[in-house]
Structure formats: C-alpha cells, structure tokens
C-alpha cells in the first residue's frame, strides 16, 4: 500500500459496504492496519449485518442503520480493549459485513440415484434436481464455523456442502413420505417444504437457514420410463385391432404417395389391406338355421322364401297370385281358408318339403280345407 492509500485510510471515517457481486455472503472492510477512527460512521444497509472482530474474537454486531462508533455502542469491544473510562483515539478492529438476504440462485441435484422401495414397482432408483435459497440468520455463528479469516466468502464455497446435506435428507424424506412413485409429481411442493424445515434445523449451528426449497423434477431410470411409456401407449390405443387397421391404412397411403416402391410390395400390401377390411366389414356369423332345400319352381308359383327364419309355429308359406305370402301358423292358414284365399289348388311350402305343392296334396293343410264347408249351390 502506498503513502496516499495510507493517508486516505486514516482520513476515511465512513465504514460501509456496497455489494455488486450478487454471490458474496461475507466481505471484510479493508482498512490500513485495520485502524478505525473513534467517532466514525458505520452504515449498515437492509439485508446486512456488521460484525466487529478484535484479535480473532467476535465482538459487537450491528443491525441495519447508521451508527456512530463510540465506546457506548461498542460495549464488548471496549471490554476487550480495556477502555474503562472512554477512548477517542483510532483503534484497530476487523469489520466483517454479512449479507442476510436470500441467495436464490443455488441449485442442487443428485449425482448418484437415490434408492427407495415402491409398492407398485418394487425397488427403484430415483434422480432429482431443483433449486433452493439460503440465508444467514446468525452472523456470529457463520463467522466462527465457516468463514474464519476469509476476506470474501462466496456462495460457491458453501454450496457443495449444502448440496451434500440436501441429498442426505432427500432419501430420508422420500422413504418417510410413503408416496407412490407415480404420485411424487403431485407432492413435490410438500416434499420441498419438509426438506426446507429439515435443512434449516440441520444448519442452525452454522447460522444458515433454508427458507425455500424447490423440487423441480424427480425422474426414474430410462428403461423404467420406456416401460411406462409403452404401458401408456397401450392405454391410449385401446382397441388393438382397430389400431392395427389404422396403421395398415396409413402404410397403404404412404405407399401410394411413393410410386417407386416395388410392384410386388404394392400387391402384397393391397391383398393384406383387402383381407383386413374384408374382416372389418364382414357381418357377424348368424346362428345356424335349417336350410330349406332347393324348391322345384312350379310355373306361376312364388320363389322359395328367404330372409330370417320364421317365428316358432309360423312355418307355412303360400303362393298367391305369383307372390309369396307368409309365414303362417295353422290358425293363420285356417283363417285364409275361411277367407277363400287358400284353396285346394293354392301352392304351399314349409321347411322340409322338397318343393311347392297344392294344398290338397299336403295332409296337414288338406285337413283345414275339409273343415271348411263348401259354397252354397246356386239357386
């Protein structure tokens, strides 16, 4: 230090700290041979504290405000110096400014996975990362336990130590929470609050608190995440048969847009698509029914009946005016006989008959014809 600096140090009577580094926790005020004039002004700003150290011993601590340094407001230092009746000459002491604001740009992460037991997946390995904020709540403890004589104590010197404490408490917090792995994302805020409280209690002897702890992400090993993705995809797809048909349609469309593909490949895809969509559009097989034999068509008679099987008891068909009517049960045939639409020459048929036959040739129907009285003779 030059002569000018020495004279300037002796003339300066304001002790203050303007921090522009954003990562400095403790800063020692520079003064030539640590000499401070009695009556000098000490300026401590908000989120700061000033600690006087005399020959390695922590003395007085000043809160935010402007203070005039006199023996009255330096009781501990006056006792250490032996100033019993007042003192007005310059004195030697180290002044450490401690930042008490929250340092929010601190990150944490698990270098090695944390192993926990899960009810659904069994034993799993988890990785996590996030951010946290730290604050000095007791400047005296911080100076004694961590800072020592460091003239500029930064966050980088303590961040690794804090990260190790975080990881050690993270495994305990996950194990005690009893939360399934798939539900951890919904409880990250609660885990952060618990870890903040646990870390604050752990670091109380160092004068540091963790007011805020953020868990940004908790992740599983890549192979486990791939299995979960496959399981999720199956749930989204739903009907695998429909999904296969959709994929086949997509492939056919892609082949149509690329005419350079081989003809054999195109034919194979076309046949495959035909089979797929034939299966998709084919009606469901009906319950087997008694197949009617091929009927011998009589000139002028109606064609053999087709369509759904008749209702129980309604099994007779009639050929009337070249049209097929029915099916009828025996009561229905009797009514038609009474109405005159069913006569002895009317063609009838039911399942099991080789073909259409006149009603008079079918015993079951002929009995109905005989039960009907003939028409009255003409007058």
**Separation of alpha carbons 41 and 70, rounded Å:** 9
**157-194 residues labelled b (16+ CB within 10 A) or e (exposed):** ebbeebbebbeebbeebbeeeebebeebeeebeebbeb
pTM of the model: 0.56
Q: What residues does each domain of the chain span?
A: 3-99, 103-222, 316-370
236 or 258: whose pLDDT is higher?
258
pLDDT band for 16, please (50, 70, 90 cuts): very high
* Within this chain, domains 103-222 and 316-370 share the same CATH topology: no
For the domain covering 316-370, report its CATH number: 3.30.1490
**Separation of alpha carbons 114 and 129, rounded Å:** 12
Helix (H) or strand (E) holding 236, with range, is helix 222-237
- Give the lowest-confidence range in 2-11, 39-48, 52-61: 2-11
Helix (H) or strand (E) holding 50, with range, is strand 48-54
pLDDT band for 179, please (50, 70, 90 cuts): confident
For domain 103-222, say whether CATH 3.40.50.300 is its number. no
């Amino acid at each position: 230090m030059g002569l000018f600096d020495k004279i300037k140090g002796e003339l300066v009577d304001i002790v203050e700290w303007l921090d522009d580094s954003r990562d400095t926790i403790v800063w020692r005020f520079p003064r030539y041979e640590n000499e401070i004039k009695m009556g000098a002004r000490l300026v401590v700003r908000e989120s700061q504290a000033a600690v006087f150290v005399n020959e390695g011993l922590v003395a007085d601590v000043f809160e935010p405000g402007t203070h005039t340094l006199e023996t009255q407001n330096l009781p501990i230092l006056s006792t250490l110096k032996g100033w019993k009746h007042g003192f007005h000459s310059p004195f030697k002491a180290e002044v450490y400014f401690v930042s008490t604001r929250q340092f929010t740009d601190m990150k944490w992460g698990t270098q090695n996975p944390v192993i926990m037991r899960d009810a659904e997946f069994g034993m799993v390995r988890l990785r996590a990362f996030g951010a946290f904020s730290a604050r000095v709540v007791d400047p005296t403890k911080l100076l004694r336990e961590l800072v020592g004589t460091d003239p500029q104590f930064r966050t980088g010197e303590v961040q690794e130590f804090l990260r190790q404490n975080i990881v050690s408490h993270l495994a305990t917090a996950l194990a005690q929470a009893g939360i399934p792995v798939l539900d951890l994302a919904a409880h990250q805020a609660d885990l952060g609050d618990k870890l903040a409280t646990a870390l604050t209690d752990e670091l109380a002897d160092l004068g540091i608190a963790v007011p805020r702890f953020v868990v940004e992400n908790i992740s599983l090993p890549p192979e486990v995440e791939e299995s979960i993705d496959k399981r999720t995809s199956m749930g989204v797809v739903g009907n695998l048969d429909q999904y296969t048909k959709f994929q086949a349609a997509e492939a056919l469309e892609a082949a149509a847009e690329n005419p350079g593909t081989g003809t054999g490949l195109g034919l194979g895809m076309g046949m495959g698509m035909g089979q797929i969509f034939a299966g998709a559009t084919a009606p469901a097989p009906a319950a087997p029914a008694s197949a009617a034999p091929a009927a011998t068509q009589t000139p002028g008679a109606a064609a053999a009946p087709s369509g759904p099987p008749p209702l129980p008891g309604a099994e007779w068909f009639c050929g009337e005016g070249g049209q097929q009517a029915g099916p009828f049960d025996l009561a229905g045939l009797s009514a038609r006989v009474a109405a005159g639409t069913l006569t002895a020459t009317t063609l009838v048929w039911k399942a099991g008959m080789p073909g259409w036959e006149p009603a008079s040739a079918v015993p079951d129907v002929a009995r109905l014809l005989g039960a009907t009285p003939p028409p009255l003779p003409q007058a």
